[in-house]
Chains A and B, each alone.
Chain A
Amino acid sequence: DSGVTQTPKHLITATGQRVTLRCSPRSGDLSVYWYQQSLDQGLQFLIQYYNGEERAKGNILERFSAQQFPDLHSELNLSSLELGDSALYFCASSSSFGAGDGSGELFFGEGSRLTVL
């Protein structure tokens, strides 16, 4: 158990809909990361938040957005869903945002599996 909690574990929805994925980081971790893993794309970094502020952005679509709340939990919002958005969405947390000292390994949750029909 990594200490990172993601809900829901499974979600089935239709094209055009909007969903929200939730992540609770490990106790004390200030950084939250979102990753998408689809069959043909591997693990793709989406976005990182540190203590409520966006720190880094990867290949995140404009239809997707995220935020980190004062209690440090994070939500990933996916809108106007398409079939290709079907994937596993992982959240990870770390204690730092990346200090260049080699610290800050990521702890991943078990993922939310999104199926768009």
Chain B
Amino acid sequence: DAKTTQPPSMDCAEGRAANLPCNHSTISGNEYVYWYRQIHSQGPQYIIHGLKNNETNEMASLIITEDRKSSTLILPHATLRDTAVYYCIVKTGANNLFFGTGTRLTVIP
């Protein structure tokens, strides 16, 4: 699976959009981009995934660049409960996801 690079930490003001970047320059054509988050020491929570088209669900939007070498997770109106570690993961067929170090997002009141 391709390696991902994320900033170690970010801050976002409550109510503003949080934009979390991820670089995956070695991604191959059949690899999906997945995002998970982990709030404190709870179990990781699935957020969204995509292949090449932008995706949106009730939690977030995923923007994937045309060359697929990077993506951005967007939380449109961040709340304090969105404070968590966000993981960007690239995977092929196997579901045994490999988590990196992620981005620690802190939402500030």
Contacts and interface: CB of A to CB of B under 8 A. Distances in A.
Nearest to A43: B99
B43 A102 contact: no
Contacts of A2: 43, 45
Contacts of A35: 99
Interface of A: 2, 4, 31, 33, 35, 37, 42-43, 45, 48, 55-56, 58, 88, 90, 92, 94, 96-100, 102, 104-111, 113
Contacts, number: 70
Interface string B68-109: 000000000000000000010001111111111100000000
A96 B99 contact: no
A105 B101 contact: no
A42 B98 CA distance: 10
Given A98-B91, A100-B93, A102-B49, 11 more contacts: A45-B96, A45-B99, A48-B96, A56-B94, A88-B41, A90-B44, A94-B95, A98-B92, A99-B93, A106-B44, A110-B42
Contact of B94 (A92, A98, A111): A98
Contact of A42 (B32, B34, B45, B101): B101
Contacts of B101: 42
A106 B46 contact: yes
B2 interface: no
Query: Across chains A and B, which 10 residue pairs bring their CB atoms closest together, nearest first?
Result: A108-B43, A100-B93, A98-B95, A43-B99, A105-B46, A98-B94, A102-B32, A56-B96, A98-B93, A104-B95
